[in-house]
């Protein structure tokens, strides 16, 4: 992969979006809002907030996206899953988010109840999959809808053909963007996009980029979701378990290298899984030549309280 930074021309056409998750404590909430404030000046296309399995984080997700919509100039998107819920319940949640000003959903089936290895069983009165969820959301309003895509196919899909057929059903039902599961080999992404285009799917397939804050955790997560971790990454992080500063430098360099290689392949839109930490994503965006609004114009003025000026 190339280690060169993006050219000024490339930087001008690059779009980014950021994913966050709802905080579980006061300290985590402070970290989240510091991260949002830090990354806001890059003018992301949107920022998304995840939604726990079975609606377990409905209120924290709603609180977070509502605050983003109210206190910042950022476009907020809410993740929404359908696992373990009736259609009526899911639709009610969607309308609650809509009332808070949310017009963009990341529609996902959700992980099977019962944990790793459990078989997914749709609720008898629920949406059976993400394609049905997309159709249900579109029946409520003409929302912008993003969906998931899997460069190494979904772990439950027997083959790429069925996996891409599910993506096509999502698009046919109204999805306008797909965000990929994270990956570390750009060839996987490129081959996947080729398969998708041959299947007659032409919506943006936005690569999901995961900076490696903790190699062990990422490796375990990757094994659960069917993403491969090349040996060269393990070698790069070897011996850095107790050296967070060097680990962060290596992670930044690797992610910037991956993104630059994708830019050279013609990609100009990237979705970053931030893990609610701004440092690595900020550094990567800076390396790419993105500068944003240093005067903090991504921040709305408020009468009281709020995030403070964007960094």
For 160-194, the pLDDT digits (tens) are: 999 999 999 999 999 999 999 999 999 999 999 99
Cα dist. 216→226, 227, 265, 274 in Å? 15, 14, 29, 17
- Structure-model confidence comparison of residues 305 and 137, the more confident one: 137
Question: Residue 269 sits in which domain range?
Answer: 8-287
Quick check: is 292 in a domain? no
pLDDT at 55: 73
Quick check: is 2 in a domain? no
Q: Which residues are catalytic?
A: 19
CATH number of the CATH domain containing 121: 3.20.20.220
Quick check: is 133 in a domain? yes
- Structure-model confidence comparison of residues 56 and 72, the more confident one: 72
For a pLDDT cut of 90, what percent of the chain falls above it? 79
Q: What is the distance, to the nearest Å, from the Cα of residue 281 to the centroid of all Cα atoms in its chain?
A: 13
pLDDT at 5: 52
pLDDT in tens, 204-246: 999 999 999 999 999 999 998 889 999 999 999 999 999 999 9
Average pLDDT over every residue of 60-67: 95
pLDDT at 114: 58
Sign of CA dihedral 288, 293, 296, 302: negative
Pairing of strands 205-206, 177-180: parallel
Strand spans (E) along the chain: 15-20, 47-49, 76-81, 104-108, 144-149, 177-180, 205-206, 208-209, 269-273
State the pLDDT confidence band at 267, using cuts at 50, 70 and 90.
Answer: very high
- The total of structural domains in the chain comes to 1
Strand order in the sheet with 269-273: 205-206, 177-180, 144-149, 104-108, 76-81, 47-49, 15-20, 269-273, 208-209
Cα dist. 245→126, 217, 240, 250, 281 in Å? 46, 17, 9, 9, 15
Quick check: is 106 in a domain? yes
Is the pLDDT at 68 greater than 90, yes or no? yes
pLDDT at 6: 56
Is the pLDDT at 118 greater than 70, yes or no? no
φ, ψ for residue 122, nearest 5 deg: -60, 150
Quick check: is 68 in a domain? yes
Average pLDDT over every residue of 66-76: 95
pTM for this entry: 0.89
Quick check: is 13 in a domain? yes
Quick check: is 307 in a domain? no
Quick check: is 148 in a domain? yes
pLDDT at 8: 54
């Amino acid at each position: 992969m190339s280690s060169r930074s993006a050219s000024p021309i490339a930087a001008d056409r690059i779009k980014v979006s950021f994913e966050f998750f709802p905080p579980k404590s006061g300290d985590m909430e402070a970290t989240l809002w510091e991260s949002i404030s830090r990354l806001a000046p890059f003018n992301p296309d949107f920022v998304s907030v995840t939604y726990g399995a079975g609606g377990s984080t409905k209120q924290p997700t709603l609180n977070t996206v509502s605050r983003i919509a109210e206190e910042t100039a950022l476009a907020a998107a809410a993740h929404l899953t359908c696992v373990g819920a009736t259609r009526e319940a899911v639709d009610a949640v969607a309308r609650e988010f809509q009332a808070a000003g949310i017009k963009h959903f990341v529609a996902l089936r959700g992980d099977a109840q019962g944990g790793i290895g459990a078989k997914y069983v749709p609720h008898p009165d629920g949406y059976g999959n993400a394609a049905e969820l997309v159709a249900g959301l579109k029946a409520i309003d003409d929302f912008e809808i993003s969906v998931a895509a899997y460069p190494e196919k979904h772990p439950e899909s027997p083959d790429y053909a069925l996996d891409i057929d599910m993506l096509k059903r999502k698009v046919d039902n109204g999805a306008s963007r797909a965000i990929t599961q994270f990956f570390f080999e750009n060839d996987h992404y490129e081959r996947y996009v080729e398969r998708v285009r041959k299947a007659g799917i032409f919506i943006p397939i936005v690569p999901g980029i995961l900076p490696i804050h903790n190699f062990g955790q990422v490796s375990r997560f990757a094994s659960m979701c069917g993403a491969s971790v090349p040996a060269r990454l393990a070698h790069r992080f070897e011996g850095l378990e107790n050296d967070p500063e060097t680990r962060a430098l290596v992670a930044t360099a690797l992610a910037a290298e991956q993104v630059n290689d994708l830019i050279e392949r013609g990609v100009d839109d990237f979705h970053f899984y931030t893990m609610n930490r701004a440092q690595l994503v900020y550094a990567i965006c800076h390396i790419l030549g993105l500068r944003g609004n240093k005067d903090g114009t991504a921040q709305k003025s408020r009468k009281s309280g709020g995030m403070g000026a964007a960094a």
